[in-house]
Structure 1
Amino acid sequence: MSKSITTKELAQKIANHEKTMILDVRNTDEFDNWKVEGGNVEVINEPYFNLLDGVEPVADKLDKDQEIIVLCAKGGSSEMVADMMEEEGFTNVYSLEGGMKAWSEHLEPVKIADLNDGGALYQFVRLGKGCLSYFVESNGEAAIIDSNRMTDIYENFAKEKGVEIKHVLDTHLHADHISGGRKLADNAGATYYLPPKDATEVTFDYTPLEEGNDITVGNTTVKVQPLYSPGHTMGSTSFIIDDQYLLTGDILFVRSIGRPDLAGLADDWVGDLRETLYSRYKELSDDLIVLPAHYSFAEELGEGGQVSARLGDLYDQNSGLNVDDEEEFRKMVTENLPPQPNDYEDIRKTNMGKISPELERQKEMETGPNRCAVEG
């Protein structure tokens, strides 16, 4: 019987930039659409049906003594392939428990910093989907920003830290993943916040995020500033925490900028996107550390797996922030849009409260990469 590895163990290897060899035995079209990525990860794709008669198709590509992690969609096929490889003399083979389905749901907490007045800021990295969410804790209280669907992970983390979840915030109405915000707030008896301009069609009660109405978490102030940072959505909201950290939602990423088309309004919103990136953010301190809601490239994973960058450095290095001509910017944004996220319309409807899919359907809706950025 072959050995197995958990998604947490794989996540820590990637976060620590350990050399990692993966044999992905899913169909090639599934692999091409979405795979495990990281700064020091090498992946070979060989569909399972090519290995039914033996592992010869990969035997020459892999060292029999190196550590190899075999993965498939749900974990069953990878176990069989790992067993076959062991029989052929591969000595260090592991099957990824739960496959890509489990990988898609894994959240890895990374500490960003201790805060000035006590408490700390954490980034939860969803390596399988490129989603980033945030946990602010201070003096026995916590706020969670851009929560993923797997709310128990945040709840357990809060218990470990001995803090009570008081505030749950979404920077915007998400279209690439199902928000756990409302559920998390309901479970904890916390306040759920949403930008009102993104909430015109929601079917539930919420507390509007409004500029100037700062949110206090223990001894820490979360500045709702600038509230109006539209472009990805009409209500996209930025937060400044501890006067040091700028949470940009899906407006600005480390290597790219947000796409303005997920509500079908690219031509209308591209001007707002430019205004936010080229004017509103320009007025902020260059020393703010940008913490986005997503990342698209393995190279964006820094020390310990965190995704962050100094705002001033992004104005020097991020090509999306360096297009002087407004018409050229409009063209760059509207002509470099990647495919829409999987099931994005149903995800938006779910986040509005208009539909309530079964859990298995929710998992299926989230399959694939996030695709929230303009492609460079």
Structure 2
Amino acid sequence: MVQSITAEELRDKIDTDDDFVLFDNRNAEDYENWHIGGAKNVEYSASDDELIGDFDQYREDVDEDDAIVSVCARGKASKAFAEWLEERGYENVTSVADGMEGWGQVYDVVPIATRDDDVEILQVQRRSKGCLGYIVGCKRTGEAAAIDVTRHRQEFVDAARDHGFSITAILETHIHADHLMMGGRKLRDELEVPYYLGSEIETRDPQFEYDPVEPNGTVEVGEITIKGIHTPGHTTGSTSWLIEDEAVMTGDTLFVESVGRTELQFEGEDAEDASAVLYDTLQTLMTLPETVNVLPGHFNVTDDGRYVGVTPGTPMTATIGRIRRHNEMLQMDRDEYVEAAFENIPEKPPNYEEVIATNEGKRELESDEEAEELELGPNRCAATEDSVVADD
């Protein structure tokens, strides 16, 4: 009888370097658009109980006693494929019960080192999409801010609670193009706490209520001061949040391994103009103290499941000083930067126009299933797919 594992258990097997073969049983198009690193594609139809893909090409590489894991969209086809393998003598087969839908909800909560013992920062990593959110807690008062909350808001509530904090404020860096922001607004309503965005978000004409923070304005969370820095370029309304002199949450303006892209809000020459604006913004961020940790809103995940310049489950951060010295695009002048920003730009995130409209409050979701469909695939919010950070 086929045994099942959860997506979280699959993550643990990957992280501990377990020796197993992973088969993805979705159709070739879905597989090409987004899959787990190292997965082999063999399509299987659960409804017809039929092998559609080519398993024979792997027979020489997979022994009957090898550990095999199968995954599909929601667990039905992968279970049927696992049973098909068992019938043919493969003895150690498991399927991922919640499939790629479950993989899209796998999170890691990673502490970020701080110099001030009264400040605690947790990085909430959404492994499949490369989304990063944060809990910023004041140890003296037990109050915390949640920043860039994803649709799975309970992950943030649990992370705060597990570390002794209660969420008393929610902040967003910008209108996201790759994932839905409903989690932050729902959490605001459930907890009855303020929901802060930079005041320049008005340029996006949001159709929801929020508490505006003027450029260089502050939000107090316990005894922690969070300063809003207007950082336009990726979007007109982007705000980075400076946590004392400990860290700056940069959203999609600046990443550990790359820089933000501009043509998710802008088109044509406007995107090039915005890229010049982003260049100036990045130079301004580089004037922060070099010990300040940059904590971005995303990390790069390629369509084939590779992580670019980062390792999930570990802190994804770099100091201002390190980025200033090693990010090759920040060594360029403005004209060179704008040209480089459009040389090898990745495809736009799947469904980005619908995601943006939903996040602006100008479009209603019909169901949770629609939310899942809109969020499928990696984020693609950086201007480059590969890292632009030189090695030491």
Instruction: With the length of structure 1 as denominator, give the TM-score of the two structures.
Output: 0.89
The correspondence of residues 150-161 of structure 1 with structure 2, limited to 5 A, is 150-161=152-163
Indicate whether 1:340 and 2:336 are aligned. Answer: no
2 CA distance for matches of 1:65 and 1:269?
Answer: 56
Q: Partner residue of 2:277?
A: 272
Higher mean C-alpha displacement, 108-117 vs 138-147: 108-117
CA drift of 1:295 comes to 0.7
Q: Distance in 2 between matches of 1:176 and 1:134?
A: 17
Shift of 1:19: 5.8
Shift of 1:189: 0.6
The residue identity in structure 2 corresponding to 1:43 is A
**Residue 212 (str. 1) matches residue 216 (str. 2):** yes
Query: Structure 1 residue 57: deviation in Å?
Result: 4.1
Aligned length: 368
Name the SS of the counterpart of 1:350 in structure 2.
helix
CA distance in 2, matches of 1:58, 1:181: 45
Check conservation: 2:275, 2:341, Cα contact below 8 A.
yes
| Equivalent-residue separation in structure 2 for 1:28 and 1:53 (angstroms) | 9
Q: Which moved more, 1:2-11 or 1:112-121?
A: 112-121
Cα distance in 2, alignment partners of residues 345 and 168 from structure 1: 24
Note if contact 1:15-1:305 (Cα within 8 Å) is conserved in structure 2: no
Alpha-carbon offset, residue 13 of structure 1: 4.0
What are structure 1's unaligned runs of at least 5 residues?
A: none
Q: Does 1:286 align with 2:284?
A: no
**Paired residue type of 1:304:** G
For 1:7 and 1:351, locate their aligned partners in 2 and report how far apart those are by CA, in whole Å. Answer: 27
Structure 1 position 11, deviation (Å): 2.9
Which secondary structure does the structure 1 equivalent of 2:342 belong to? helix
Q: How far has the Cα of 1:117 moved from its partner?
A: 4.3
What residue in structure 2 maps to residue 118 of structure 1? 118
CA shift in 2, pair 1:369/1:196, >3 Å: same
Please report how far the alpha carbon of residue 48 of structure 1 lies from its aligned counterpart in structure 2 after TM superposition. Answer: 2.1
- SS of match in other structure, 2:4: strand
Q: Supply the RMSD in Å over aligned alpha carbons.
A: 2.4
* Contact 2:178/2:379, CA 8 A, preserved across alignment: yes
Moved more, 212-221 or 120-129: 212-221
Partner of 1:202: helix, strand, or coil?
coil
Contact kept in structure 1, 2:108 and 2:313, CA below 8 Å: no
Q: Deviations over 1:96-149 (max 9, x none)?
A: 121112211222212223672435211111111111111112222121111101
Pick from 37, 42, 45 the counterpart of residue 46 of structure 1.
42
Structure 2 segments unaligned to the other structure (5+ residues): 302-306, 387-392
Residues 1:295 and 2:299 are matched in the alignment:
yes
Contact 1:166 1:190 survives alignment (8 Å) = yes
Q: Distance in 1 between matches of 2:115 and 2:41?
A: 43
Measured in 2, the distance between the counterparts of 1:45 and 1:321 equals 39
Q: 1:194 to 1:18 in 2, by over 3 A?
A: farther
Do structure 1's residue 27 and structure 2's residue 20 form an aligned pair? no
Q: Is 1:190 aligned to 2:193, yes or no?
A: yes
- Map of 1:294-333 to 2, 5 A cutoff? 294-297=298-301, 298-302=307-311, 304-324=313-333, 326-333=334-341
Please state how far the C-alpha of 1:52 moved relative to its aligned partner: 5.4
Separation (CA, whole Å) in 2 of partners of 1:137 and 1:13:
31
2:68 corresponds to: 68
Quote how far apart the aligned CAs of 1:20 are.
5.9
Shift in Å at residue 313 of structure 1?
2.2
Asked if the contact 2:41/2:53 (under 8 Å) is kept, the reply is: no
